Amino acid sequence: MGTHTAPPAPPLGLREAKKQESRQLISDAATRLFLAQGFEQTTIAEIAAAARVAKKTVTNYFPHKEDLALDRQDAFITSLAGTVSGRRPGESALAALRRAFTEALAATDPVAGFSGPGFARMTADSPTLTTRLRDLHDLREAALAETLAEATGVPRDDITVCTAAGLLGTVHRVLFDRIQQLTLAGRSTARIRTEVAAAAEHAFDLLEPSLADYATA
């Protein structure tokens, strides 16, 4: 019997590409099932079968079932904090967030709430996803507070930081919910943009008297 030589390990880039491909296949299979039969009614075993992988493979990539449905969680949690961190010279936190929301609205960004009617209905019908979404809004507000504290050089529990993060987080939460509500009501994307743009203008205006110059870069 000849000596067996193991093939060289693939480059890290190739291994990572294969992992991303597997992750996407699982995510796509889960999304199809969730939309077809509902989040609560779909099991990990069904997702694994649809993706042609083992259940353990699914949970290795997605430790919690909610992770399969809300796969933009990290981007969502860091979105407001990242906008404030990257604000332009002379731009306040409010101005930066207002500008970023306008851009997200134009781009129909899923992080802003543009998920499509099927996904919006699936989320609304699932107590698990509804609860997780509330948690994500809270985590996003907490991340924003951390960034505002760093930007203004005060402790994280400073009352101004907590209040500012709460106000700014709430505006984005309200606008996210408005987009979801209009989506469920069957409004077109163009109409949602128009209605939410007007709502955002009013909502951000309400914060101008107190936060116009807060955390200016």
39 with 129, same domain: the answer is: no
pLDDT at 10: 54
193 and 133 share a domain? yes
Contacts of the segment 36-44: beta carbons below 8 A, 24+ positions apart: 38/122, 38/125, 38/126, 39/65, 39/69, 39/122, 39/123, 39/125, 39/126, 39/128, 39/129, 40/125, 40/126, 40/127, 40/128
Tell me: do 51 and 82 sit in the same domain: no
Please report the pLDDT score of residue 6 as a whole number: 44
Q: What local confidence, expressed as pLDDT, does residue 17 receive? A: 85
Residue at which a domain ends, from 23, 50, 69: 69
Whether residue 3 is contained in a domain is answered as: no
Q: Is the dihedral of CA 131, 134, 136, 142 positive or negative?
A: negative
Amino acid present at 3: T
**Is 216 domain-assigned?**
no
pTM of the model: 0.88
Domain count, the chain: 2
Q: How far apart are CA 34 and CA 122, in angstroms?
A: 7
Helices (H), 107-188: 117-124, 127-152, 159-184
Same-domain status, 120 and 199: yes
Q: Could you say which residues of the chain have pLDDT below 70?
A: 1-12
Q: Are residues 43 and 141 in the same domain?
A: no
Return the amino acid letter for 92. S
Judge whether 217 lies within some domain. Answer: no
56 with 152, same domain: the answer is no
DSSP output for 49-115? HHHTS-HHHHHHH-SSHHHHH-TTHHHHHHHHHHHHHTPPTT--HHHHHHHHHHHHHHTT-GGGT--
The closest of 207, 180, 201, 194 to 126, measured between CA atoms, is: 180
Residues 85 and 168 in one domain: yes
Does any domain span residue 7?
A: no
Pick the last residue of a domain from 54, 69, 84: 69
The answer as to whether 6 is a domain residue is no
Q: Are residues 81 and 150 in the same domain?
A: yes
CA distances from 189 to 114, 146, 174, 184 (A): 9, 34, 18, 11
In a domain, 62, yes or no: yes
Predicted pLDDT of residue 14? 83
- What pLDDT, on the 0 to 100 scale, is given for residue 46? 97
Q: Indicate which CATH number applies to the domain containing 136.
A: 1.10.357
Domain that holds residue 19: 12-69
Do 32 and 124 belong to one domain? no
